[in-house]
Structure 1
Amino acid sequence: MSKSLRGRLVAAIFSVGAAGAIAAPAAAETLADAIAMAYESNPTLQAQRATQRALDETFVQARSGWRPTLSLSGQATYTESRTPAEALSRLGQRTIEEGNSATAGLSFSQPIWTGGRVAAAVSAAQSDIMQGRENLRRIESQVIGQVVQAYADVRRDQEALRIRQENVAVLQRQLEESNARFEVGEITRTDVAQSQARLAAAQSQLQVAEAQLGNSRSNYAAAVGRNPGTLEPEPSLAFLLPPTVDEAFTVADSFNPQLRAQQFAEQASRARVAGARAERMPTVSVNSGLVFGGPAEPFDRDLYAREFTARATVTVPLFNGGLTTSRIRQSIERNNADRINIETQRRTVLQQVTQSWNQLIAARANIGSTAEQVRAARIAAEGTRQEQQVGLRTTLDVLNAEQELRNAELSQVSARRDEYVAAASVLSAMGRLEARNLIPTEPQYDAKANFRKLRITWGWVPWEEPIAIIDRTVAVPPIPQPKDKPVEAPIAPGLQPPPVKAAAPQPR
């Protein structure tokens, strides 16, 4: 962990303080600001983008099978032969014989037809790349979902801390009032003890709320890259949400990144089946070579011989012990598994949409219930305090009424948070929780830009395209072409700050 990030996380722990004060920047921070920050700097998202760029290179590597190869080789040889003295006396040979030679060669090879092997590899690579783009969408949605949840958690816990602080203040005043009334004999020691017990419990709950806020702030810092300051209310997500769950199912079936990634995986494995079958087909290539050779020392160019060769090679596989047939069967079964997993993934997506939608409906209903609960609890607490003043209620009744009011306020805060997170979960399952929908004014990362640059790069040759056409069209069986899928158009207007309520006119 870097020192800067460690410092931010430590600051997230200690910035709450005993009174729950939060260090805030000069301007209030919005959810759009947090998402933009994470979209630019989140390490998980950055790593996935680098992974996708690495995956783009498989396209170039696959197409290299249509491109020529050129190599240069050189060799220098020195030999020494020693004859024993006894052999010299009998045969009259020299004792030492030396020799040297040097050769330099240039070889060129160009595939003409690979039987569809390279075409299948290129199709598989393209499908893998499209699958990687969907995985990048999935990671982006996950990161944005984490930001949304962390943002909502911090706001919930800040509000919960405020409620706990008010509760401690109210109970502190209640204890002072109980002590005063005990001094004049209006209540007993039991009433005072009850007030003391409730105040101690409230102080303990305040400490727990401070700790919870510190945890939420650390989660926010980990997702966004900086500590939260003064957070504006969450903007509405209604412009992205469908009116019915059936429409949510339809959108998810077309644009969910996990489902689309599995469909591209099936395309890739289908291309690999064709590639395995192409191993039975012959290959055609042309080769040429140029070799120079002669003595290395003394160097004399006139003593060097030159040899040039040119040949066309046709290679026909006949028998390899059943290896190719086994690979074909293996590829077919892998494609069957990928095809079946499409339905598995579709059911998982529908399950995610259903669960998220039900959570959203329940949270919305809970918001209305808790609002009514808070209204009634506030009236009950105020009435109980007034009735205590005339002797109709006990101290315990007042304490219970205050506790019910605080619990109702906490439930209302949690319900609002749950509703917003559930809405984000629905959008994530549908495939709409993306930066282009939420922060359209920010620069968007284009996963296809790097791929477009690799289309013609170092190693490309002009005759590569006609060879690719021959290799794909003459292949038996035909090589499947990868099919990209349409992307849902961005939905305006993006996250908008909540409307500012006009101040009520002051009476004159």
Structure 2
Amino acid sequence: MGKRMITWTFLFVFIFVQWPDTAFSTENHLPSPFIRLLEQTLAYNPRIRAAQETLKATQALIPQAKSFLLPSLSFQWDNTFRSSQWHNGSSQSDPTSTSLSLSQPLFDLETLRDYQRLAPSIKAAQMDLEGIRQQVFLEFVELTANLLQGEDVYKLAENNYQLTQAHLTATSARHDAGELTKTDVSQSRARVFAAKSEWIAAKADRQSNRARFVELSGQEAPENLDLPILRHPLLTKPLSDLVAILDQRPDIAAATLRVQTAQGNVDARKAGYFPTAALSSSASRTFDPASSNSVGPQDDTSLTLSLSWPLYSGGLTGAKIQEAVASRDSEQASLEQMRLAAIRELKVTLLELEKSDAVNQANIARDTAAKDALDGVSQEFDVGTRTSLDVLDAQNEFFSAQTEKVKSGYNLNLSGYRLLKALGLLSLETIDGTNHN
């Protein structure tokens, strides 16, 4: 027994030492700050909560409509004080009665179809909720991209401001040594003020982006906030393949379900021409002290089968049918218009993705060329073959190239998210397994 205990102890120690990360650590499974904040935003966003309450209200219609198809049972108790007066006498009776009534609809096609058309209505509300979730999702992605882009641009502007200040200091020193002219110093000073202006503007944009981020997420952005670099096979699909899956967009799916609901309303109104049948029964007992002491309480029971067939309603049923048909046709037209708008949005988004990719590639090449040009001009300035203005121009071009490269990189990533939103596929599962900055 002791040897077995020692063996198990050594085995446990071996496992603990060899695999501490996988067996006992959850650090690698923690969600990124982006995912964590996004989940919180989707959980507490007011628009999403409003859509959730709308869905609950729609779901509550199910038991209401169902109650008209189920039996109803009621209990009633009455205590009456009755007194009668005549010229030559009077009488008084104080009867007490209790009754139990049961009613069961047997056939009511209009009510049944009203109940059945609630199912697509609830699904439409669910699609509305999903559409709002995806819209808030995209807004969060856009604000995150703007925030991170603003931070990067601010750092570039700050670095450019510091470089122009350093260049002004060096230019002033060489002017004092007689190597450069006063014009060179003035040009350097002008570029310092221009760089400072850009730095101040970038700082203001950064603060504005932070404020908008807090407004949507309800929290300050953490220092390690990232934006997943989207990788999805649909980003490389042709337009024809993407159009084929547009019907799964939440707004189109909701509109399709509303057409079904409207058709159900037409069927329900047509059922107004059909008869209805119901079964009812009741049992009651009445006790009157004036008479029951001699004959006992009075018991009554009844069973009633009723059939009602509408013959003429003044055109009310026909008018309801016309109204329902017009509403259905309106929903159908809205659906067709929504499909056309979705195709247009998809085309624009796909073109924007292609353009963003081309612009980003061009800006990457521009950044590399601007860096090489700045290095060359700086070396030539050191040996006296370039002027101070040449260096300032090269530095400004490099700063502009860096800034545009940063912006186009974020815009390219955003274009992918917008394409998935245009397809109705933007969700947390979409970015599962993507790269993080």
1:194 to 173, 184, 187: 187
Cα 1:405–1:296 shift into 2, 3 Å: farther
Larger RCO of the pair (alpha carbons < 8 Å, separation 6+)? 1
1:377-397, Cα deviation, whole Å (9 max, x unpaired): 112222222333333333333
CA distance in 1, matches of 2:434, 2:186: 51
Q: Counterpart of 1:118?
A: 111
Moved more, 355-364 or 121-130: 121-130
2:373 aligned partner, one-letter code: A
User: Could you say what the CA RMSD is over the residues aligned between the two structures, in angstroms?
Assistant: 2.7
Residue in 2 that maps onto 1:431: 424
Return 199-208 or 297-306, whichever deviates more.
297-306
Distance (Å, rounded) in 2 between the aligned partners of 1:301 and 1:239? 92
Tell whether the 8 Å contact from 2:279 to 2:305 is kept in structure 1 after alignment. yes
Match of 1:234 among 225, 228, 233: 228
Q: For residue 316 of structure 1, report the CA deviation from its aligned partner.
A: 1.1
Unaligned runs of 5+ in 2: 1-29
Kept after mapping to 1: 8 A contact 2:230/2:417: no
Is residue 284–residue 313 contact of structure 1 (8 Å, CA) maintained in 2?
yes
Asked if 1:209 is matched to 2:147, the reply is: no
Q: 1:30-109 alignment to 2 at 5 Å? A: 30-79=33-82, 91=87, 100-109=94-103
The secondary structure found in structure 1 opposite 2:386 is coil
Find 2:177's aligned residue among 170, 184, 187: 184
* 1:240–1:432 Cα contact (<8 Å) kept: no
Residues 259 and 346, structure 1, Cα contact 8 Å, conserved in 2: yes
| 1:364 corresponds to which of 331, 334, 357 | 357
For 1:297 and 1:396, the matched residues in 2 are separated by 121
Distance 1:244 1:76, change over 3 A: same
Alignment match of 2:341 (pick from 344, 348, 356): 348
Give 1:220 shift.
2.7
CA contact 1:283–1:316 (8 Å) conserved in 2: yes
Q: Is residue 137–residue 434 contact of structure 1 (8 Å, CA) maintained in 2?
A: no
Paired residues for 1:433-472 under 5 Å: 433-438=426-431
What TM-score comes out, normalization by structure 2 length? Answer: 0.85
Q: Does 1:148 align with 2:137?
A: no
Give me the TM-score of the superposition, normalised by structure 1.
0.74
Structure 1 residues not aligned, in runs of 5+: 1-26, 84-90, 439-493, 500-508
2:435 aligned partner, one-letter code: P
* Cα distance in 1 for residues equivalent to 2:359 and 2:248: 30
Q: 1:200 to 1:297 in 2, by over 3 A?
A: farther
Instruction: Report which of the two has the higher share of helix.
Output: 2
Contact 2:276 2:307 in 1 (8 A): yes
Residue range with higher mean Cα deviation, 424-433 or 186-195:
186-195
CA positional deviation for 1:211: 2.1
In structure 2, C-alpha distance between the alignment counterparts of 1:130 and 1:54, rounded to whole Å:
13
Distance between the aligned counterparts of 1:62 and 1:327, measured in 2?
A: 19
Contact 1:62 1:122 in 2 (8 A): yes
Provide, for residues 171-224 of structure 1, a one-character-per-residue CA deviation record: whole Å limited to 9, x for no partner: 110121122123223333333233223222322222221222222223333333
Judge conservation of contact 1:111–1:286 (CA < 8 Å) in 2. yes
The alpha-carbon deviation at position 356 of structure 1 amounts to 0.7
Query: How big is the shift at 1:128?
Result: 0.2
